[in-house]
Every structure is written in structure tokens, then in C-alpha cells.
Structure 1
Amino acid sequence: MAKQYEFIRILNGIWKKNGWSSLIKDRCNPYTCTRTSYICTSSHKSQEERSARERLSTAVSNYQARVDLAASYRGMHFYGMGEGVCNHLTLRAPAADGNGDVMLLVPHGTHWSEVTASCLLGICLDSGDVVEGDGIAEASATNIHMAIHNTMAPKIQSVMHTHTPYATALACLEDSRVRMVHQNSMRFFGKIAYDSDYDGLPDVEDEGPRLARMLGDKEILMMGNHGVLAVGHSAAYAFDSLYYLEKACLFQVLAMSAGTKLHEKPDNIAKKVAESFDAITVYADRHLDGLKKHLARQEPHFMS
């Protein structure tokens, strides 16, 4: 219950900062809900109050997106899937001031174990300027992720690029295909694209559109000699995909190290498994919700 009050305190701060009436009650769990109910102290149903409610709703959506992305950064660190202050996870969210959308991004130089909801930058998806938060946006992350978001919206809301150990190890092989040897592999059947054209650090202006073209309608891009990129309709979905892709690559690399032939399943079996996972996407939400609950106990300031 204390965490619930903390959530309300944060929203009241947003409310009062903008000169609106006080928020007096919230009826949702701050770690798992996707919508918020609230009651104004004024009974006068004016247009101004309705506008204030809309602004608060937008601010709440912005904050909830920030919590999801901060949890994703910390989760990657928790699972040993980060790389210092490099790589980037981004999420499209309503701008806090109600003017369109922003791309949420970690300030350059922030360690993933220290990311909080409030530290995230909001990047204008048209200009690339920082319009929310303080700090510097790393140029390649801004340009590359922004181009993917703009090319693949509205279907894609989150873009995550990492150098996770086993997926990256597989990407360093001449044949970097994820083989259908485990259930975790089969969930990605037909959803992985491969980019074998690494030729050095990219031109940040051109790389985003190129990667979007390489992805096409896929959800995962295995980036040869580089790493992996995942996209999804939510932070939870992209995060969950990266987690289970890393598990799939771990099992494959370990199986390959045995020096015997891999036991690959035929396409019809792999396709059936992938379709089964498509029908239970709530697992991704529950994964991130579980992580947020863990963080709320161990590192509650991630929500600040």
C-alpha cells in the first residue's frame, strides 16, 4: 500500500505543478495497470476541468511508459544482458505536455543499473531534439531508433538493441541462423531477419532506414558481427523477446559445443509452436510486471 501512495504522490506532483485541482484517489496498481481512474475535488464539470483531466491522463500515460522502460533497462542489467552504458532501449510514449509523442531514451552515460523513470529523455520524433528531461541523447541512438520508430509506427512502439552474450556470439558466426532446436527457438519461427552486411560503425543518418528495411515484417534482427535488435508493440513485448532469444541462443551454443548434430525440428512443428506463443502474448506483460514488482521491493527508486 505504501508503494500505491508513492504513485499517487508522484501524480499529485504532476497535477499541482500544472496548476490543476488535486488528485484524491487512484484505483489501480501502479506496477501492472494500463489505465488510471481518478476523482477531482471540484464538482463543476467545466470544459477546463475536462481539459485538465485529459492532460493528467496524458501525463499518467507518459509516466507509466517511463516506469516500463526504466524497468526494462534495469531488467537487462539484472539478467546480465547489458553492456556498460552502451546499447539502447527506446519506447514511444505520449509527450507529457500532450503535444504528440516522444521517444523515451536513456541519457548518454547513464549506467543501466541506475536508470529511473524521471531520468529518461523525451526525444521529439520529428526533430530529434530533447524536449523532456535533462542530459545528452547519444547521436546514433537518437537517429537510428527514431528512424525505425517513424518507419514502423504505429505497429512498433518499442525498439531495443543490445549485445547480449549468446545472441551476439551466434551473430559472429558465418552461419548465424537461430536453429529450431528448442521451444524458445521455435517461438521465433518466421520472425527473425538477418543482416550480414556489417562494414564498420554506421552512418547514423542512413542506418535507421536501412535497419527498418532489413527488419521488414520481422520482430528480431540478428546483426552480423554486431548484436541483436528487437521491436514490439510494447516495452514488455520487446523486452520479453530479447530475454527468450538470448535463452534460445544460449541453448543452441551449448548444444553446438557438444560437437554432435543438432536435433532440429521441421518447419511445421516450429510454426505450430510460434502460433501457440502468438496466442498467449500476455506472458510478456506478466514477465515485465513480475520484474517491476521485484524492483519495487529491492530498488523502489527506479519509479522516481
Structure 2
Amino acid sequence: MLEHRQQRVDLACVFRWAVRLGMHESIANHFSVGVSEDGARFLINPRGRHFSRIKASDLLLVDAQDAKTIDRPDAPDITAWALHSAIHRRHREARCILHVHSKYATVLSCLKDPVLPPLDQNCMRFFERVAVDTGFDGMGLGDEAERVSRGLEGRPVLLMGQHGVLVAGPTVAQAFDDLYYFERSCETYVTALMTGQPLRIASARVAHKTMRQWVEDYEGFADQHLRELKAILDDEEPSYAQ
């Protein structure tokens, strides 16, 4: 029996779905989930493994407090280790951390004004729930990783300027649900900009109301979403759970 099997299976599922949804970057980018009470011990993808091939048993168990982790023969990618260990140490509540360079979120991160406006109800879900980091200073190593880890500000989404997006959640299900809908929101906004037409932006009152409805009235939605994703993989790609 695999240690931390449920977290492994859930995380392996979202690796596979990141590929299916075109949100992966081949063997780059990284997902993790904390498995200890303080979140310092966490599972993360192995270095150099394509998202489409990751299985539950492939995930590495590491300790954010152990600086020697990077010297292990099976050490994770250096950027993955720096960024995820910094966040797991600093944010106990951030059990699952998903970082990708998904197409539309990355486009948004490259705009002079990278703020997602309350354009439709998906965009409104993230009203006042996105931290924006515009201090990009190279690959996420050392000081850069520590700086980024401070940028979450208690919000579930960190838009990393000129880089991509990072989502942190209390569970794998919640983190992936936020990642999925944030990318959909960015797609809507970027596509709307491409029309060249004036945008119909919701008022702060309506945007805040809609955000609260998403957060408060859809309890269990993320769990249902992940359950369906696993059911599809169980039929079509069951190796993810091995």
C-alpha cells in the first residue's frame, strides 16, 4: 500500500488533466501537496517526468525543512524545490500548490495591467482573490522563491508577472478547481480583448456578490469536479493511479 495514497492519486489525476487541457509545459512546471500536519512534508513530481506519464507512485516525498533534499539522487527540479518548499514552510494552509504556464493566464501575466476584471461570472469568482506579482527577477530560485512565497497574501491565486500562475488550496480538488476556472476566466478576458470592442465590466457590488456566491453557495463543487475527472481517467487512463 502506497503511503499517502489518496493524495498521490488525486495529484496524479490533475497532472494528467493538465495535459488534457493543454495547461502543461512538457517536463517543466510542478504540483505539490502537503501530507504532514504542518504541511512541511509534501509530495511533488520528479524531475524530468512528462506530466502525461506521472503516476501516483512516482511522486516524491520531501521535507521543506530539510535543505539536503536537493542533494538526493532523486531530487526534484531545483526550481520546484525552491518555490514549493518556501511556500509549504510559510503557508500552513496552502496544502496543495499548482504552478503552470497555462496559455491565457500567462498572456494576462504579460500585460502592462495584469488585473483580471469582473467580466463574466467566472471572472467574478476571482474578484479580490488574486494576488499579482510584478517583480519578476529571473527563475524561481533562492531569494526569488522566498519573495514569491510572500506574495500570496492569503489569496488562492498568485498571478506571476511575465511567468505564469500559481494556485494554492486546502485540498487538491479545490486547488485544481480554482486553476481550471482561473484559466477559463483568463481565456474569456483575452478573447474579449481580441475583439477590439468595449468591454462590459460588472460593478464592484455585483462582482463581490457573485464571488461570495461561488465561495459560499457551491460547497462540495470542487470535490465533485475532481471525482468526475478521476472517473474519466479510471475508464480511459487508469495507469495514473498506479
Q: Secondary structure at the match of 2:181?
A: helix
| Aligned residues with identical type, % of pairs | 35
Q: Partners in 1 of 2:154 and 2:34 — Cα distance?
A: 19
Which position in structure 2 is the counterpart of 1:297? 235
Mapping of residues 31-46 of structure 1, within 5 Å:
none
Contiguous gaps of at least 5 residues in structure 2 = none
Distance 1:101 1:173, change over 3 A: closer
| RMSD of aligned residue pairs (Cα, Å) | 1.9
- The residue type paired with residue 278 of structure 1 is V
Looking at structure 2, the residues matched to 156 and 289 of structure 1 have their Cα atoms a distance apart, in angstroms, of 21
1:102 aligns with 2:44: no
Q: Unaligned 5+ residue runs, structure 1?
A: 1-10, 15-58
Give 1:18-167 correspondences, 5 Å limit: 59=3, 62-94=4-36, 102-129=41-68, 135-153=74-92, 155-167=93-105
The amino acid of 2:190's aligned partner reads: V
Paired residue for 2:144, among 207, 212, 220? 207
SS in 1 for 2:61: strand
Contact 2:132 2:159 in 1 (8 A): yes
How far is 1:125 from its partner?
A: 2.2
Structure 2 distance, partners of 1:267, 1:300, is 44
1:184 to 122, 127, 131: 122
Q: Which residue of 2 aligns with 1:22?
A: none
Instruction: Give the match's secondary structure for 1:222.
Output: strand
1:234 and 2:171 correspond: yes
Partner of 1:169: 107
Task: Give the structure-1-normalised TM-score.
Answer: 0.75
Give per-residue Cα distances to partners, 1:146-167, cap 9 Å, x unaligned: 11011010x1101111000011
TM-score normalised per structure 2: 0.93
Structure of greater relative contact order (alpha carbons < 8 Å, 6+ residues apart): 2
Determine if contact 1:121/1:134 at 8 Å carries over to the other structure: no
Q: Which has the larger radius of gyration?
A: 1
